[in-house]
Structure 1
Amino acid sequence: MADNDLLSKVTVALRRSDMPEELTQEMSDLVDAALADLKQAGVSNLDTQDPLIRRAVITYCRANFWPTGDYDKLKASYDEQKAQLRMTTNYTDWPDA
């Protein structure tokens, strides 16, 4: 289940703070999916208070919640954020070079 603070930030960022319960659950699932995707990519520091993690999750949710004509741009932006996080030692368990 998505962190309530992060879920709140995502719903505000998507201008959906008055969503019915069914859509709130869908948004929560998207937040969980974004965090799982980051973890699968090798990002081990998933501190939801970290602004870079929050921004990546928000971008993922923007791309996947009622996708619009901006899907490709948002997906590319999320992929870039994920790539940057997975190359930074503060966000991974990779040994330092």
Structure 2
Amino acid sequence: MANISKQFVYDVRRYLRISHTHFDAEITDLIGAAQADLLLGGIKAAKVEDESDALIKRAIVCYVKAEFGLDNADAEKYRDSYEMLKRHLQLSNEYIEEA
């Protein structure tokens, strides 16, 4: 797995509406977990590691928003969004590994 860039962590932090860096380690871990889950789902490594891919980025953001923090009233909504995006990616020949 490629390194997660500081810019990508910054972008995800913005989606969480956090301006400080106190939680960057947790955010980085969650990004890595999302990437690992996408890989386990059969998404191409090159796509998973492409931080500029809008669909991959959106899926990762949904995953992080679902899992970030302890009291997250919207966790289930974001978890469902992540799973839906992952299913769509799994149905696309552009995103899945060759069988």
Following superposition, the deviation at residue 92 of structure 1 comes to 1.0
Count of paired positions: 93
Gaps of 5+ in 2: none
- Percent identity, aligned pairs only, is 31
SS in 1 for 2:27: helix
Gaps of 5+ in 1: none
Q: Would you identify which runs of 4 or more consecutive aligned residues in structure 1 move more than 6 Å?
A: none
CA distance in structure 2 between the aligned counterparts of 1:34 and 1:49, rounded to whole angstroms: 15
Letter in 2 for 1:54: K
| Aligned 1:72-87 pairs, distance under 5 A | 72-87=76-91
CA distance in structure 1 between the aligned counterparts of 2:67 and 2:28, rounded to whole angstroms: 12
SS in 2 for 1:27: helix
Cα deviation digits, residues 41-94 of structure 1 (max 9, x gap): 011121111000000000100000015111111111100000001110111123
- TM-score, with structure 1 as normaliser: 0.88
RMSD between aligned residues: 1.3
- TM-score, with structure 2 as normaliser: 0.86
